[in-house]
């Protein structure tokens, strides 16, 4: 179903004016096209329906043939055909087409016309077909539908009310009506309809609908009882086992929940709902990232799952490095955030004294974002943070005292534009970040390295303006993270152990202690998520780098240490000793493991920007 036609957009009134002119000239095909255009813009406009009626009368045979269906049919054509089918005595077919239009765009009031809500309509329809229409609508909308999006769906709820009155003993109809009512926030009504449905026609599906209704009402005990009765009806439907497990988990009964997933997996070890639920609950119970890695492996090895699951994304959401970049730690960026929070966005010419030198990316970000802020460094503590932790092939920074400057040229304009379009502080999970970074695959190594030390300005988007105004350091970190993810797509034909991409990332990991260290290590961790053959190698690099950071932290502050610890906990196949060390770094003295309070609102706004369609 398509959004519109190829010609320039017209208003609904202009479409109708052209439709009337075409009608007067007897050009019914053009008139139909313009009526369809008007209905697509304003589905309930009375003048559009009056013109549609005129067109039907002029065409003979109800006018249905003027609105044919084909592979890429225009949504206005679908809606017009639906109304003419209803007018010609085929309302069930009309309802099915309106439901299809709702599936295409649920924000439009396609069904907000009198015939859909007429009290006597269901009396003339097969209740089985009505149930199918209601289920078609349910499949097209979220559960629950956000309150602000419910109005266009109310005509379908009116149809359900009238149908439940006309067919009070049809179990399938009552259950599907309950499912729609639940999605639209009418939970009590959903319970009444579903309960009546299982009384008059006991069935597995009826009990599932009743269980969902009880669950939406917070009546967990009743929900579980209904779902268990559904299992009694059909012990082979493993999806219900996963529903019971999820319901138990929602109340903190993880062990019982896992018993149900184990029962399902004993019957079918590859049943997707049970696999996803089991891994999610095991991670919820012990926090071991191995469960999420196993789930990611399952998703990769079973691309044809029966439906989309969000368990992996749900577990990774808002977790450091699993679902988002960590905000930078350290005194330099803390001063910068404070400066930008001041009225008029700055402190004027102010001097700030740091106890010791901080990462070059931090110092450069402060100098760029707050040029009036003078930063003095009391001392350069040992081990010298200006020296790479190991010899590297591609040093990115050179130092003049305590001032760092890039050693590589700036990236091309194309690379800067590409990273602006892609970089974001959040992702669904590491494999999703890897997949998204394929947009950087055509950039050369010089461009990707240049982006790390010459980050372009933030884009002129809501997210870009927000970061530039409140925390420019987060934008710089986004660029560095995605540039390193881009490195994962560099020369992918080369075997991992000897590849250019591995050498470049390991080189960055052991370079000067910097935000780039974190970004490169995250890229390596992501490589381990998507390529099991790289896991042992990556786990070794992570373990060595974390051990080095912990040793240095005993001598001087290491602002990236806690972030490296979170990266370690996100690493597949990490050894137990390194896992313990990571936990100690996170819980011990040093930068707070969670983002600071002043950043919480910023993260909330960024998340909303990410989810907005």
Of residues 589 and 440, more confidence is placed in: 440
Give the C-alpha separation, 445 to 451, whole Å.
Answer: 10
Buried b (16+ CB within 10 A) or exposed e, 219-229: bbebbbebbeb
Q: How many CB atoms lie within 10 A of CB 545?
A: 23
Terminal Cα distance for the chain, rounded: 19
For residue 353, what pLDDT is reported? 86
Q: Which residues pair with 377 in a beta bridge?
A: 354
Cβ–Cβ < 8 Å for 5, 74: yes
Mean pLDDT, to the nearest integer, of 590-611? 51
Answer whether residue 387 is part of any domain: yes
Confidence band, pLDDT 50/70/90 cuts, at residue 386: very high
Q: Is the pLDDT of residue 562 over 70?
A: yes
Mean pLDDT, to the nearest integer, of 279-297? 97
* pTM listed for this prediction: 0.84
Give the C-alpha separation, 182 to 283, whole Å.
Answer: 30
For residue 413, what pLDDT is reported? 97
Answer whether residue 572 is part of any domain: yes
Distant-in-sequence, close-in-space partners of 297: CB < 8 Å, separation ≥ 6: 532
Q: How many CB atoms lie within 10 A of CB 277?
A: 28
Q: Among 557, 517, 520, which residue's Cα sits nearest to residue 383?
A: 557
Q: Among 452, 353, 357, 355, which residue's Cα sits nearest to residue 397?
A: 452
For residue 586, what pLDDT is reported? 95
Model pLDDT for residues 441-450, shown as the tens digit of each residue: 999 999 999 9
Cβ–Cβ < 8 Å for 177, 207: no
For residue 370, what pLDDT is reported? 84
Domain tally for the chain?
1
Least confident of 245-259, 359-373, 496-510: 359-373
Q: Which residue do the tokens 């266009």 mark?
A: 152
Distant-in-sequence, close-in-space partners of 178: CB < 8 Å, separation ≥ 6: 189, 190, 191, 193, 194, 197, 209, 210, 213
With residue 406 as reference, give the H or E element that holds it.
strand 403-406
Least confident of 328-332, 557-561, 592-596: 592-596
Cβ–Cβ < 8 Å for 433, 483: no
Answer whether residue 111 is part of any domain: no
Identify the domain containing residue 566 by its residue range.
331-611
Query: For the purposes of burial, counting CB atoms within 10 Å of the CB of 143, is it exposed (0-12), middle (13-18) or buried (19 or more)?
Result: exposed
Cβ–Cβ < 8 Å for 518, 567: yes
Answer whether residue 575 is part of any domain: yes
Q: Is the pLDDT of residue 87 over 70?
A: yes
Answer whether residue 350 is part of any domain: yes
Distant-in-sequence, close-in-space partners of 128: CB < 8 Å, separation ≥ 6: 170, 172, 173
Answer whether residue 31 is part of any domain: no
Strand pairing report for 403-406 and 397-400: antiparallel
Answer whether residue 598 is part of any domain: yes
Distances (CA, A) of 121 to 93, 115, 136, 309: 13, 7, 18, 37
Distant-in-sequence, close-in-space partners of 384: CB < 8 Å, separation ≥ 6: none
Q: Is the pLDDT of residue 596 over 80?
A: no
Confidence band, pLDDT 50/70/90 cuts, at residue 304: confident
Percent of the chain with pLDDT over 90: 83
List alpha helices for 217-271, DSSP H.
Answer: 220-233, 238-250, 254-267
Of residues 246 and 341, more confidence is placed in: 246
Answer whether residue 156 is part of any domain: no
Q: Is the pLDDT of residue 233 over 80?
A: yes
């Amino acid at each position: 179903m398509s959004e519109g036609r190829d010609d320039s957009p017209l208003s609904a009134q202009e479409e109708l004016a052209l439709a009337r002119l075409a009608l007067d000239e007897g050009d019914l095909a053009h008139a139909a096209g313009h009526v369809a255009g008007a209905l697509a813009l304003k589905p309930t406009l009375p003048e559009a329906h009056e013109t549609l009626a005129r067109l039907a009368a002029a065409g003979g045979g109800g006018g249905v043939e003027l609105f044919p269906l084909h592979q890429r049919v225009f949504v206005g054509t679908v809606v017009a055909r639906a109304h003419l089918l209803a007018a010609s005595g085929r309302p069930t077919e009309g309802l099915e087409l309106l439901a299809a239009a709702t599936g295409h765009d649920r924000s439009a009031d396609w069904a907000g016309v009198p015939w859909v809500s007429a009290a006597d309509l269901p009396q003339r329809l097969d209740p089985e077909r009505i149930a199918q229409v209601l289920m078609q609508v349910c499949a097209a909308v979220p559960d629950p539908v956000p309150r602000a999006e419910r109005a266009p769906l109310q005509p379908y709820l009116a149809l359900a009310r009238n149908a439940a009155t006309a067919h009070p003993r049809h179990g399938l109809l009552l259950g599907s009506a309950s499912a729609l009512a639940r999605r639209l926030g009418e939970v009590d009504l959903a319970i009444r309809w579903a309960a009546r449905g299982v009384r008059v026609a006991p069935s597995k599906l009826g009990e599932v609908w009743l269980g969902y209704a009880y669950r939406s009402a917070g009546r967990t005990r009743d929900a579980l009882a209904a779902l268990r009765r559904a299992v009694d009806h059909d012990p082979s439907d493993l999806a219900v086992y996963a529903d019971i497990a999820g319901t138990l988990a929602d109340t903190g009964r993880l062990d019982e929940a896992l018993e149900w997933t184990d029962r399902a997996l004993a019957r079918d070890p590859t049943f997707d709902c049970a696999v996803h639920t089991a891994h999610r609950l095991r991670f919820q119970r012990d926090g071991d990232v191995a469960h999420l890695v196993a789930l990611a492996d399952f998703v990769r090895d079973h691309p044809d799952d029966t439906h989309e699951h969000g368990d992996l994304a749900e577990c990774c959401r808002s977790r450091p490095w699993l679902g988002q970049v960590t905000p930078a730690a350290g005194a330099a960026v803390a001063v910068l955030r404070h400066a930008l929070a001041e009225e008029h966005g700055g402190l004027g010419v102010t001097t700030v004294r740091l106890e010791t030198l901080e990462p070059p990316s931090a110092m450069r970000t402060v100098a760029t974002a707050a040029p009036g802020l003078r930063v003095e460094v009391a001392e350069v503590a040992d081990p010298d943070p200006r020296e790479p932790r190991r010899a590297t092939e591609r040093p990115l920074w050179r130092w003049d005292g305590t001032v760092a400057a890039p050693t590589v040229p700036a990236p091309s304009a194309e690379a800067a534009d590409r990273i602006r379009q892609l970089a974001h502080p959040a992702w669904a999970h590491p494999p999703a970040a890897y997949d998204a970074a394929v947009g950087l695959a055509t950039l050369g190594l010089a461009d990707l390295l240049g982006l790390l030390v010459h980050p372009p300005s933030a884009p002129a988007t809501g997210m870009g303006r927000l970061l530039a105004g409140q925390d420019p350091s987060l934008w710089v970190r986004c660029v560095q993270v995605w540039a390193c993810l881009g490195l994962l797509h560099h020369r992918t034909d080369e075997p991992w152990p000897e590849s250019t991409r591995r050498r470049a990332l390991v080189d960055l990991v052991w370079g000067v202690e910097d935000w780039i260290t974190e970004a490169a290590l995250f890229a390596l961790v992501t490589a381990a998520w998507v390529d099991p053959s790289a896991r042992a190698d990556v786990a070794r690099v992570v373990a060595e780098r974390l051990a080095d950071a912990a040793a240095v932290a005993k001598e001087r502050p290491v602002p990236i240490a806690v972030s490296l610890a979170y990266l370690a906990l996100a690493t597949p196949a990490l050894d137990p000793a390194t896992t313990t060390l990571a936990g100690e770094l996170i819980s011990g003295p040093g930068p707070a493991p969670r983002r600071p309070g002043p950043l919480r609102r910023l993260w909330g706004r960024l998340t909303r920007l990410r989810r907005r369609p």
